[in-house]
Copies of this chain bind each other. A is one copy, B any other.
């Protein structure tokens, strides 16, 4: 159990150790004001290109621009349509060309100001403009704050599957302002919460138990929220530092994601029906039940995971997705296109119980398909 009991209304810093690509994550209330000084620090004399979406721009854009102007940083804003469909070729093309049209130079900074879609999209755009510009992550959704803004995975979706096109491109700095979460829709907050639960399920049963006890205070934006965010970032930073390019242990972060991505793909990334964190919640529940079917995980642990996810309003079954259920062949097509595939056999993150996830190679597609048949007919 690694959650600090001290009050972290004060700012917290998590360091991501990656040699010359190391950077800090700052976590706290009212931190948007640090972005101006950070641009001056990392790009002296440089300009900022804010990549954001209409929702975030309306809610917080002016505050960010005021902060930049107060520090004498000239800026431009590139604004895209909110939602997962923006994480594809057409918008990627437009963002890259807009950054170039702003006459951005290699030493200027992109500011990824938004949720996971914006972070992945803007980070990937920054990685390819002039073969690599720096960028600051200013995540505005809980999911982006605890997961996607940290670790350098950037990219877009292909018709062949999610996140199949992208780059490892570490941010120059991450600013997490907890205040921006106050305008986040409850459904999005829950979706981000699923990724926090994941860190407990992977290797920190104590954190999972702490979340079981404190989720009320997390959801009411009490002190527990900052503690949970900082603890999640610390977990992720540790894994990323040990395995930046996912040649080994970083794959543990995919717990629930192979199933989750397949579910998202099977509803054509329709955020009305399923957002990423919900897919991960169902995926984590499936990973535990699949592990149980393979005699690796107790039924009690499966139940405990389901109960906690349900307690905060997250789905745990494929049938919880509104609309027509995806077919097993459709799900298998996405699962076999996942990046975790190697030489035809599947790699899954399975678990021996809460806090004891592990990487299982050589999972047969047949076993997975049979399990999914059972799930869908239960």
Which residue numbers of A lie inside 8 Å of B, CB to CB? 45, 89, 93, 96-97, 100-101, 103, 105-107, 127-132, 153, 155, 158-161, 164-168, 245, 336-337, 339, 341-343
Contact = CB atoms under 8 A, between A and B. Distances in A.
Contacts of A97: 158-160
B164 A101 contact: no
A164 B100 contact: yes
Nearest to A247: B106
A167 B164 contact: no
A37 B165 CA distance: 28
Contacts of A155: 128, 131
Given A106-B339, A107-B342, A342-B107, A101 B167 contact: no
Given A103-B336, A107-B343, A132-B168, 17 more contacts: A45-B343, A89-B93, A100-B160, A100-B161, A100-B337, A101-B160, A103-B337, A106-B339, A127-B167, A128-B165, A128-B167, A131-B153, A131-B155, A131-B166, A131-B167, A131-B168, A131-B339
B343 A96 contact: no
16 contacts: A89-B93, A97-B158, A100-B158, A100-B160, A103-B336, A103-B337, A128-B128, A128-B155, A128-B166, A130-B164, A131-B153, A131-B155, A131-B167, A131-B245, A132-B168, A167-B167
Contact of A339 (B130, B153, B161, B336): B130
Contacts of A164: 100, 129-130
Nearest to A128: B165
Contacts of A89: 93
A158 B101 CA distance: 10
A342 B107 CA distance: 8
This chain: copies in complex: 2
Nearest to A96: B165
A136 B165 CA distance: 20
Nearest to A100: B160
Contacts of A106: 339, 342
Contacts of A96: 158, 165
A171 to B, nearest CB: 15
Contacts of A337: 100, 103
Q: Which of A131, A164, A166, A337 has the most CB of B within 10 A?
A: A131
A161 to B, nearest CB: 8
A129 B158 CA distance: 10
A204 to B, nearest CB: 26
Contacts of A165: 96, 100, 128-129
Contacts of A168: 131-132
A266 to B, nearest CB: 18
Contacts of A127: 167
Most buried by B among A101, A159, A165, A341: A165
Nearest to A160: B100
Most buried by B among A100, A107, A159: A100
